[in-house]
Structure 1
Amino acid sequence: MLLPMPDDRGSAVAEPLEDLDAVAAVYADRYFSAPDGDRAALRDAFVGACLPMAGRLARRFRGRGEPLDDLEQVARLGLIKAIVRFEPDRGSFTAYAVVTIRGEIKRHFRDRAWAMHVPRHVKDLHLAVRRTTEELTAERPHTPTITEIAERLGVNEDEVADAMVSGGGYSPMSLNSPVNGSEQTIELGDLLGGTDPALELVDDRVTVAGLLQRLPARERQMLAMRFQGNQSQSEIAATFGISQMQVSRLLARALAWLREAMLSDEVPRWTGASAAHELAGLDITSRGTNGVLTLRCRGEIDRDSARRLRAALRQAVAARPQQLTVDLSGVALVDAAGVAVLHDGVTAAERAGVRMRLAGVQPYVRHILDVSGLGTSF
């Protein structure tokens, strides 16, 4: 069950969210202002909204010797801990929940799972050998031999021996174990190297490296110049012959795509415009049919192009179609000036009795419009 998000018309919209920060803010506001008797229901609804994200994180660890059902249960436990401990003024809920859930899953592997990869049939036989050894020990006045255990289980002696050895993969020797023969108190861990603080980042580094190869060459180069070369946005803009504002938008879009890809099971489609088209500004075309007038926009809606879109919207509203559809499938970014123009267009259409709808909105633009109060126009 998702936490309902009311729109301006009083209806309820319940859609799964990749970024849970917005619904977390609504949950926190309602939870802390609700009577004690209503809080459990609000928390259950919020947990339901977050379960898909917990499932995706659990599936990243499948194939490592633990049943997926167990991993999903552990991920849900981590999710509940994150919700209980979440403090809205401390930052992003999504980021906090991801860290908490991953930490819970890693603790599960550390505390309960086999430390080494062992085939499942060998694990099952190891458990059977342990049970049989206990049974034979209770029945006989001596420790059972491998031959006796093999006869009771109906397997050969080599299989029993392998199962016994495999037990070391479940409970390996502790690094705190003392080293035999040493005159001083020396533990096994003292003979090994120190902990590499970057070890836990290996998975994320490998994932990001693969995702970077899916970005256009221009965005890859900009990210490298900014985060490896430590160059300013102005320096990057000079290299590419564009404005600093355009560099800021391109970097923000690439980072937003990387973040979405890291949190998703499937790599999302890159929806950024090409370099040549992006620098050409905003292209607006119109088409009318059966009382529906469609304005198709391609490019970016910023302070340089907002005036053209405002004029196109005014002209379209003046034509009084039954419906005005603004196709934003070719728009990769909308800034504050663009949001203001779209707001004015919706207001003018309402006054003229024209239904205005925004269509084909890309995820990054959709987030901007949702925050700006235009989510009900999709």
Structure 2
Amino acid sequence: MDEQDPRHARLRDRLVTAHLPVAEHIARRFSHRGEAQEDLTQVATLGLINAVDRFDPDRGVDFLSYAVPTIMGEVRRHFRDTGWAVRMPRRLQELHLAVSSAIARLSQELGRAPTPSELAEHLDISRDDVFRGLEAGNAYRSASLDELLTATDEIPLGAAIGSDDAELLEVENRETIRPLLAELDERERRILVMRFFRSMTQTQIAEQIGISQMHVSRLLSRTLTWLRDRLETAESPTESATTD
């Protein structure tokens, strides 16, 4: 839709409003690191707005999968810019920023978290520099255990730095979501597992399930909204997601 079209602004506002709970959830995850919650929420909201403005639906990646790492990147950039736990050479700070940005960009293009080799090729640097850029993140105070690099080149970086969990609404522990998964319709649960735990694209899922890519996208969107609502309210499971 053309940006001059009056409907563009309305659609943009609706997207931002609909996903504000996601930005707020991500901001709360960083609330124990010494920053005011209001400030973190503002930063996360800025990341959400950037995600809305930069999202390209033609790439075949659902919006939430692109928005979450973009919001996370904005919050981490805030911590990086406001102070590092130890003095870090500027080159390493810039390297960490480049790698973080590349992860968000390639995640949308590939429909999954990139491997170290893919990042190295994209940035035209060595794999060692990719590792240095990731490890540099541990020098600023927002670093957390799930960001320590443990991946091999055969494992997507998301398995090492929590990107898969980030796409699943930043669930701190998969045990948290397991009882909710049990409530889902079998097909919804299968699609969710293939998308977020096996890094399959929506097109690949559609071919395997035998439905259209658009139907997969609709089911994923509805299921993630249901999960988000349940996690936000922290209610005990009482009802199942609606089947289609």
Compare the two structures and name the one with the higher helix fraction. 2
Q: TM-score, normalised by structure 2?
A: 0.45
Larger RCO (CA within 8 A; separation ≥ 6): 2
Larger Rg: 1
Q: TM-score, normalised by structure 1?
A: 0.31
Compare the two structures and name the one with the higher strand fraction. 1
